[in-house]
C-alpha cells in the first residue's frame, strides 16, 4: 500500500496531437492527425451539460488501483478501497485503505489541497495551495494528479460557454476543446471526447500551456447516480483510467453505488484542520515551502491559509 503514495482555440485545436502518455497502454479514441470540423460547440456542450449539471455532488465507494514501474523497471500493481466525496467545483475527499484501515487520504477545498500518508510509523500530512501546485513538492510526495484535475477527469464538470469542437479521425467521437483557468497548476487546455449518441465522455485529455499532454483519462461503464428527491438519474462512468506521462503510471478508479451524498457528507470531511486532528497527524509539511528536499522542513498550520 505504501506504493500508492507514488501515485496529484481553433488554432489550438489543430495543434493538439494524440495523447497516450504511457508506453504500453492504448487509450480508446485515436486523436486525429488533422482537424476535422465538428458540430457547433454550443450545441454539443448543451447536451453534455444536460447530464453534468445534475452532478454538483457525488458520493461513492471507490476501488483504486495503481500500476507503476518500480526502481528496477519492473511493472507493479497495488490496490486499495475507500470512499470518494465531491462537492463541485473544488471540494474533494478520497480515502484509500484495506480491511477497514485508511492508509492515504487526498482532499481539497477552495484554496488548498492535502495528502495524508498514514501507512508508516509516523502519520504525515502534506498541504499546499492549488495555485502553487505546478511548482510545489506535490508530485514528489505522491500527489501525481492535482485534486482539481482529478475532479475534471471524472467527466462530471460542466462545460464552459465557449470552446471549439473537432471530430475524431474515424468520425465516431466529438472532441470539445476548452481553456482552463490554471488554478490547478500548469494545465492550460482540456479536450473531452464524447459519444455522439449519449453525449457522455469517453476520454479526457489535459494539456499544459506548451501544448504537451500531461494527463489522459479513459472513461467507461456508465451507470446512474441517485439524486435525492428527484426522478432525474444522471449518468457517470464508473471506471476511470488515468495515465500520467512523466511517471509512466496508471491510476484506475472503479466507482459503485453512486449518489449525491445528501445527508452523508459533512463539512468536516473537507476541513484540513479537523482532519489533522481526527487522523492524528504527527507531522505537517508545507508543499509550497522552497526547499530542495522532498519533505519541506518548515511545518505548516492547516488552520491558516498558505502564503
- Sequence-distant (≥ 6) Cβ neighbours of residue 200 within 8 angstroms: 51, 155, 194, 219, 222, 235, 237
Least confident of 94-98, 100-104, 184-188: 184-188
Reported confidence tier of residue 289, pLDDT bands at 50, 70, 90: confident
Least confident of 78-87, 180-189, 215-224: 180-189
The count of other CB atoms within 10 Å of the CB of residue 53 is 13
> For residue 53, what pLDDT is reported?
97
> For residue 38, what pLDDT is reported?
75
Q: How far apart are CA 300 and CA 286, in angstroms?
A: 5
Of the chain, the percentage scoring pLDDT greater than 90 comes to 62
> For residue 3, what pLDDT is reported?
45
> For residue 140, what pLDDT is reported?
82
Print burial letters for 180-189: b (CB count within 10 Å at least 16), e (below 16): beebbbbbbb
> For residue 135, what pLDDT is reported?
87
- Sequence-distant (≥ 6) Cβ neighbours of residue 132 within 8 angstroms: 287, 288, 306
Q: How far apart are CA 208 and CA 214, in angstroms?
A: 7
Mean pLDDT, residues 236-245: 95
**Cell 500518508 appears where?**
117
Render pLDDT for 138-194 as a digit per residue (tens, 0 to 9).
888 878 899 999 999 999 999 999 999 999 988 899 999 999 876 555 468 999 999
CATH number, span 2-286: 2.50.20.10
Reported confidence tier of residue 21, pLDDT bands at 50, 70, 90: low
Reported confidence tier of residue 100, pLDDT bands at 50, 70, 90: confident
Least confident of 90-94, 222-226, 284-288: 284-288
Grid cell locating 111: 484554496
Grid cell locating 97: 485503505
Domain ranges of the chain: 2-286
Reported confidence tier of residue 293, pLDDT bands at 50, 70, 90: low
Reported confidence tier of residue 127, pLDDT bands at 50, 70, 90: very high
Query: What is 12-71 written as a DSSP string?
Result: HHHH------STT---SSPPPSS-EE-S-HHHHHHHHHHHHTT-SEEEEEEEEEEEEE-T
Q: How far apart are CA 252 and CA 270, in angstroms?
A: 23
Amino acid at each position: 500500500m505504501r506504493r500508492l503514495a507514488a501515485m496529484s482555440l481553433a488554432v489550438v485545436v489543430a495543434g493538439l496531437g494524440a495523447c497516450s502518455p504511457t508506453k504500453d497502454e492504448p487509450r480508446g479514441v485515436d486523436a486525429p492527425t488533422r482537424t476535422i470540423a465538428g458540430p457547433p460547440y454550443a450545441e454539443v456542450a448543451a447536451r453534455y451539460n444536460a447530464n453534468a449539471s445534475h452532478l454538483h455532488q457525488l458520493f461513492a465507494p471507490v476501488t483504486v488501483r495503481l500500476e507503476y514501474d518500480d526502481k528496477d523497471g519492473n511493472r507493479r500493481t497495488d490496490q486499495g478501497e475507500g470512499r470518494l466525496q465531491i462537492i463541485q467545483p473544488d471540494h474533494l475527499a478520497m480515502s484509500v485503505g484495506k480491511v477497514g484501515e485508511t492508509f492515504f487520504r487526498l482532499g481539497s477545498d477552495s484554496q488548498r489541497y492535502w495528502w495524508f500518508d498514514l501507512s508508516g510509523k509516523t502519520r504525515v500530512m502534506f498541504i499546499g495551495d492549488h495555485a502553487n501546485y505546478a511548482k510545489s513538492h506535490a508530485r514528489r510526495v505522491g500527489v501525481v494528479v492535482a485534486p482539481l484535475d482529478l475532479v475534471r477527469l471524472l467527466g462530471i464538470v460542466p462545460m464552459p460557454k465557449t470552446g471549439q469542437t473537432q471530430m475524431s479521425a474515424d468520425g465516431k467521437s466529438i472532441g470539445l476543446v476548452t481553456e482552463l483557468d490554471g488554478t490547478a497548476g500548469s494545465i492550460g487546455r482540456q479536450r473531452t471526447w464524447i459519444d455522439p449518441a449519449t453525449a457522455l465522455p469517453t476520454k479526457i485529455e489535459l494539456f499544459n500551456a506548451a501544448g504537451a499532454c500531461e494527463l489522459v483519462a479513459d472513461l467507461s461503464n456508465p451507470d446512474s447516480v441517485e439524486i435525492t428527491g428527484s426522478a432525474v438519474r444522471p449518468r457517470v462512468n464508473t471506471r476511470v483510467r488515468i495515465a500520467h506521462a512523466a511517471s509512466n503510471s496508471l491510476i484506475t478508479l472503479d466507482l459503485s453505488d453512486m449518489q449525491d451524498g445528501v445527508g452523508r457528507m459533512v463539512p468536516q470531511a473537507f476541513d484540513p484542520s479537523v482532519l489533522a486532528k481526527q487522523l492524528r497527524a504527527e507531522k505537517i509539511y508545507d508543499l509550497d515551502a522552497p526547499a530542495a528536499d522532498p519533505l519541506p522542513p518548515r511545518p505548516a498550520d492547516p488552520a491558516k491559509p498558505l502564503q
